[in-house]
Structures are given as C-alpha cells and as structure tokens.
Structure 1
Amino acid sequence: MTTETLTIARLGSGGDGIAETADGPVYVPFTLPGETVAVARVKNHGTVMSMTVASPERVAPPCVHFGPEGKNGTCGGCTLQHAGDALYHHFKRNLVAQALKTKGLTPEVAPLVIARPGERRRVVFTARRTEKGVLLGFNQAGSHHIVSIDHCPISSEGIISQLAAIRRVAGAIATSAEPFRVTVLETLPGLDLAFEGVKKVGDKERRAVTECVLSLRGIARVSSDGEILIEPQKPVIDFGGVRVSPPAGGFTQATKPAEDAMAELVLTALGKAKRVADLFAGSGTFALRIARQAKVHAVEGDEKALKALDHAARNTQGLKPVTVERRDLFRRPLMASELKVYDAVVFDPPRAGAEDQCKELARSGVKTIVAVSCNPISLARDLSILTAAGYRIRLVTPVDQFLWSAHVEAVAVLDR
C-alpha cells in the first residue's frame, strides 16, 4: 500500500472517481471530477484519506449510512449521494450515450427521466440472526458485512415504516446465523416479503412465521424460495389500471414512477399498431397496458409470471384480446416468419439482452420495435444488430429508477 495525492479526472461507469496515473487508472470511490485527494492506494484502487480540493458539484449526502463516514459502516446500496443533481443526471444519461457510441450509434438521446427519494417500492435487504437479534440492512460494498439501517432515503415510507415488522418476520424464519436475503415489495394491500437462502424452513418456522404475521398489520404475504408460507391478503400491484397479483419473489420494476414513464414511452411509440408482440413480458408490465389499445401476444419464459398476466387479462374488462405463450426466448426466439403478423414488437429482456431475438427481428418485416433495457451495454449490441438490418433509431430515453447508483434503464424506439 502506498499513499499519494491524485486528481480525479472523471467518473467511471460504476460511479467511482478515476484518476489517471503513469501506472494506469486508479479508482477512488466517493470522489468527483476535479477533486484533489490523498489516497491510500492498493494497485488500482484508492481509499480517500483527506481532500485538499473539493468539487463545487459536491453535496452533503442525505443518508447517514452513506460513504466513508457511514453509520455502522458504508452501505453498499448507493454510490453517488455526494454528487449534485446536474452532475449526477449527466452521468446517468452519459452511461447510455457512451454505450451506444461504442457501437458507432449516435441517435438522439433524450434528457434523463429522473428518480426522486422515497420512490422505491421494491428493496432487497440482507439479514442475519445474531445473539442481539436480527441484523437487517445492506451489504457494505465488496464485503459480507451487513450495515444495519434504520432509514433509507431511496425507499418508500411504506417499507421504512415497517422495518421493525420485517425484522420480526425475519427472526421467525431464520434457522441459523447464516445470512439470507429478503425482497420487500410494497403492494396495495401490504408488503410482500420474499425470503431467499433461508436453510431448512420446517414446521416450527412455518408456525412461528404464521403467528408473527397474524400479530402484525401491513404484511400481505411471506414466501421462502418461492413457497408461500402465509398470505393474509393477495398482493396486488397496478399496471395502468389493471390489477395484477405477481408471483412470490417475481420480478417487478423497482419504482412505479419509472415504470409509468417507460410504459408511456412504449405506448406512444406503438401509436396505432393493431397487433403487438410483447417479448419477455413478465407479469404484464407493458402487455396489460398495451391491451387497452391493441391486441397483444405476450411471451414469457417464467410460468408463474405468465399465469399472473393471463389471470389479470381474463379478469379485467375493456381490454383487447391478450394471448400468452410460455417460451424461453434465449433458447427459442420468435422466428422472423412468426413475427411477420405483428405491426410492432416490444421487448424487455434481462441484463443479458436479446441478441438472438434481435437477429430474428432484423430479418422480420415488423415496422416498429421498442426496446426496453436495464443494461446500456447489451442494449447497444442489440440496437447495432437492428440498425445493420436497416432499422432507424428514432429516440433513446434514459430512465432512472435506481437513485444514486450506477444503474440506468433506457427505452429505444426504432422503425423502418
């Protein structure tokens, strides 16, 4: 380890400050461009010891668990609370623009759809039983240390106000001192708690969880590795006026404002399309909204998510026909011959993107394609496949729903 003074040149894609040295870039967390810092350096990683020049873009972090001075350690959930809005919003938008540029793509990139504090309706905590009770919080970056939290400025009040209840349920289900995860989703009737990695949940734990939940208010469901342990009320979320009960532990967008913004971009892009295919449809985030204005064929590999979508469609009046198909689109993408019956296609894949599906779309006659992505790198690759086949990128809109992190969503609209 050496101690040296560095000047931060830029932010890296992970949100760390980067200083250029004779030995190559050095990554320094919690710093901003233009700052001069003394760091303890190990290889290409620096830890701030002191700061002699601070950026005018630096602001006071709103959370006591953030940064080197964080309470009980540095929570690994956020990386950019110290950046002012202008710098932070430029950073998020630039993640998308630069990823596209690496593939030679320079479309119009709209201003960032911003995220605000208190919007997160889905949060993943790490928990562990200790002699003093249940430790509940977030892992410190690059560590198994759990930073216990008593508040979280990104999370909804509905979740933060129930931290004590979540700890009680976690204490009832825990069977050892091994760490486990709990995904908390705020739904209309109450919280949906999905535990993962709890070992040997037996009859004793099931009874304890049942007794605990029945003594509390605001807990709609508790599951462990997909198995429902108790469901006092069926969890329900709203997709543009359509009520859906997602499967236990199933995927949902992290914030409703971001979901609504992305859905509006999708619906606007589809225009007067009469037949639409929604690929990687999940529980119907987009398909059920699209069904207000067009016939939809929803394709999804997860059986439980698809059943939730189908049930919601069948039990909602005023929708145009919705058909569903369970299909692993990574192994068996819709072929160009199957796609020719659709006016438009929407796809929203996991982080890996939809490379093989895009190759088939490139061969299809689909007029309008809307790509929704949580990974600018795979999005750039997918769009390059489509543009090489003659599609034109009309607009790309970055959307923030993971506030103060280095994660960004994007919606790209293409036509030909």
Structure 2
Amino acid sequence: MRRKARRGGGRQVEVTIDALGGRGDGIAAYEGKPVFVPFALPGETVRVRLTGQRAGGYKAEVLEVLDAAPERVEAPCPHFGPCGGCTVQHLDAEAYRRWKHDQVVQALNRRGFDEPPVAETVEVGEGTRRRAALAAVREGKRVRLGFHGRESHRIENIEECRILTPPLVALLDPLRAAMAEILDERETAEVALLESESGIDLLLQTRQPLGLTARQALAGLAESEDLARIAWAPAGPEGAVAEAEPVAMRRPPLLTFGEVSVEPPPGAFVQPTAAGEAALVATVSGWLAGVEGSVADYFAGCGTFAFPLSRRGPVHAVEGAETAIAALWQAARKNDLAGRMTAETRDLANDPPTPEELDAFAAAVFDPPRVGAKELAEALADSKVPVVAAVSCNPHTFARDARTLVDGGYTLAEVWPIDQFPWSGHVELAARFRR
C-alpha cells in the first residue's frame, strides 16, 4: 500500500509496529519514544513521516507499507482513511475481536486487576447504528455533510456509511440538499440524527438563528422524507445542547424502554444501537432480577434501565439533564408508574449522593458519560449497597471506578464487553460488583 506524501512534513523514517493502540493507531518506537501511526498494524514495517508531537512521542503518517501484516484486509468503505469515524476497517475480523476484548482487559490490568473476569465480546453488526452526530459546511453551492477527519476540522463528505442504519444513510442526500438552502457560504452546522421507532428525529444546531427560508426548507425536508420531528438549537460547546425549539413535528419520536414508550428530548443520549441496548438491558436486568428492595438508577437518561427494572420493584431514577428526566417522568405518569418510580434531577459530579442516602437501596446501577462516575463510585465504596451494576463506554474510566469500588470492599464479579461501535476504538461494557 502506498500513500502520497504530503509536502512540508517532518523526518521520514522506517519503523516496525509493535502494538495496536486504543484509538486504532499502530504504535512503534523511534529514538526511545513512541510513534503513533494511523492505519498501520502490529508486525508491519512502514515508512512514515513524523508530523508532530503526541503523548511524549511522535505523530506520524504512513508513506508506504513495506511489509504488510497477514491480518491486513481491504477496508470495505470508500471513505475509510479521510473519515474519522472508523479507524480499523483494515484489520481482519478475528484480530479485531481480540483487540476489542483486550481493550477492556488491559484497562483493568493497569488498575491492578491481574486476571479480570472479562467475558467474550458481544458483537453488534454493521448497519445498526441508529444515532449519529454529523457536521456540515457550505462551500459555494455545495454542502459537505459527514464526519470530521481524524484530528481534523475537515469534514469528509459521506455518500455511504457501513455503520449507520439504512434509513439514516438514505437521508444523507436529501439532508445535504436542504442544508444548501439553510447555510450561508462557509457557515457550519451540527446535525444529530436518531432513528426512533416512529421515524427519524433531527436536531440542527447553527450559530445563527433560523430565518424563514431555512424553516421552510426544514419543513419541506420533514414532509418529503416523512421525518418524525425536526428541532433547532443554537450551537454551543462540543456535546452541549441548549434548549431546542421545534421546527417541524409530524409525530412524536418514540423509543420503548421495557414496555414503556418514551418521547426523548431533541439531542438526548440513547444507546447507539437497539441491539446493543437490548444486550445491556438484558444483562443488567438479569443481574438484579432477584434483588428485593429499591434500586437506584444513576445517570438514568430517559429511562433505558429504569423502566425495565421497574418490573421487578421500585426504582429511583437520577439524571443531571432536566429535559431527559422530564421525559422519563412524563412517561412514568402516563403508564401509571408514579407509585413505583421516583425521579430526581441531580448533578452527580458536583452533588453525589451520600453513603447514607445510598444505604436505602438494595442495588445501584450507573451508566455515566465517558468521564466516568468518580464521585459516585467513591460514595458507593463507603456505602452498604450490596450489588452494583455498572455500564460504561470508556474502559479506562470504568477501570478507575472499579478500582475505587473494589478498594471499598466490593468484588468485581463479571464484565461483559459489548461492541456497539464497529471498527472504532470505542467499546461498551457492563459489569457486576457485589459485597
């Protein structure tokens, strides 16, 4: 494989790749420092150009693969490389499975778990991702719509995608055409898509308020593509969603948690795939099936775990996002669950529960963002809660929190990796702790 060299780069060197890092980079050594090489695999000898500094070592780009690894395969997506969404499509299936599993094992090893009880990875297939965050920019009469390149602000214009569900892929061209009517020259936007059970939910974020032409374009898109809802919010810090206003509502977007239909707010967090969510819910519900007493569900979102768990007994749902907990509580009241469920809005990083509050529960569940649940884990470690089920999308922050729980008297009983993020460095997991 040969790649065209970029002008103005740094030194060109030959290195041998020793390992595959957590982000999918090949890792080599040069002058006693690590070299991070995207699209290179362990065992390969590659000629690279050093392009910058990273983590006490060097960033590099591949100029030529001199000796390819037997695990190298042809990437199935034409956008592989420029698109930052998938980083390891060039790795064969068996090596890929080992790498995902090892991500969890190695994170726990680094926190002192020598032989962690990590099960085989549950795999979720391609073409199943129902949630996506896209970026758009207008360039003349053309709109680039897709994912950012790796460590880049450049947007790869996506024509097809192997990970998104077919309805989301089918929306790309009509959405691109609508964005051409909405955006000014060089104006950017962020688009969050969710394929709900009643249709696609779209949240558009721009820096400028929507004018009449933009609103008409979005209404036309909702009509022509039969979207469930379109909402708009001003662009804010990365990952933040300000209060959204509806632009077009044909019907409420709905998701079913347990047997309860919930209308998530625009841009709400939900599990990226329905199959992955089902695996996580079945695992956590099975672990807590025999628990007698109330269960606390922290970082509850819109009720992914709270509603299925409410079948077995009382649940107290806690979430920092007011719009998410409002959606949860509205669904609970509509389904006559107000006597079995309670809900609380709480910033769990700055106002975690006290050990005394936690002692009222027979079990606790938590599913935090990528930064983990450091403060909650510390409180649980000082509590008497007998069973904890943890869900995480970041093995490293999970391992940190697991160390806290085990140092506080818990035993890490089992860990189940669930791969909802094909061909990327991300991996989900569920874990059970007991006293």
Match of 2:28 in 1: 19
Match of 1:86 in 2: 94
Match of 2:253 in 1: 235
**Letter matched to residue 63 of structure 1:** C
Instruction: Find the partner of 2:303 among 256, 272, 284.
Output: 284
Instruction: Find the partner of 2:426 among 397, 403, 407.
Output: 407
Shift in Å, 1:322: 1.1
1:312 has 2:339 as partner: no
CA distance in 1, matches of 2:89, 2:186: 32
Cα gap change, 1:213/1:175 in structure 2, threshold over 3 Å: closer, same or farther? farther
Instruction: Find the partner of 2:179 among 156, 170, 175.
Output: 170
Match of 1:255 in 2: 273
**Letter matched to residue 202 of structure 1:** G
Gaps of 5+ in 2: 1-9, 53-57, 234-243
Match of 2:236 in 1: none
Shift in Å, 1:228: 1.6
CA contact (8 A) 2:140 2:185 kept: no
Cα gap change, 1:236/1:172 in structure 2, threshold over 3 Å: closer, same or farther? farther
Match of 1:268 in 2: 286
Alignment of structure 1 residues 89-100 onto 2, 5 Å: 89-100=97-108
- Provide the secondary structure at the position in 1 that maps to 2:417: strand
Alignment of structure 1 residues 9-408 onto 2, 5 Å: 9-43=18-52, 44-67=58-81, 74-106=82-114, 107-214=116-223, 216-225=224-233, 226-273=244-291, 274-316=293-335, 321-408=340-427
Deviating beyond 3 angstroms after TM superposition, the runs of 4 or more aligned structure 1 residues are 317-320
Shift in Å, 1:91: 1.3
State percent identity of aligned pairs: 41
CA distance in 2, matches of 1:327, 1:346: 15
CA distance in 2, matches of 1:264, 1:10: 34
CA distance in 2, matches of 1:36, 1:359: 45
CA distance in 2, matches of 1:166, 1:251: 22
- Provide the secondary structure at the position in 1 that maps to 2:317: strand
CA contact (8 A) 1:168 1:212 kept: no
Q: TM-score when scaled to structure 1?
A: 0.94
Shift in Å, 1:237: 1.4
Number of aligned residues: 409
Q: TM-score when scaled to structure 2?
A: 0.90
Shift in Å, 1:137: 1.2
Match of 1:5 in 2: 14
Match of 1:71 in 2: none
Q: Give a deviation string over 1:336-382, Cα, whole Å, max 9, x none.
A: 11111211000111111111111211121111001111111111111
Shift in Å, 1:317: 6.2
Shift in Å, 1:171: 3.1
CA distance in 2, matches of 1:93, 1:199: 44
Q: Give a deviation string over 1:16-75, Cα, whole Å, max 9, x none.
A: 0011223411111101111111222235122222222111111111100102xxxxxx11
**Letter matched to residue 216 of structure 2:** R
CA distance in 2, matches of 1:319, 1:3: 65
CA contact (8 A) 2:175 2:221 kept: no
**Letter matched to residue 89 of structure 2:** Q
CA contact (8 A) 1:294 1:320 kept: no
Task: State the superposition RMSD in angstroms.
Answer: 1.7
CA distance in 1, matches of 2:339, 2:405: 29
CA distance in 2, matches of 1:299, 1:54: 50
CA distance in 2, matches of 1:330, 1:319: 26
CA contact (8 A) 2:181 2:213 kept: no
- Provide the secondary structure at the position in 1 that maps to 2:228: strand
CA distance in 2, matches of 1:14, 1:3: 23
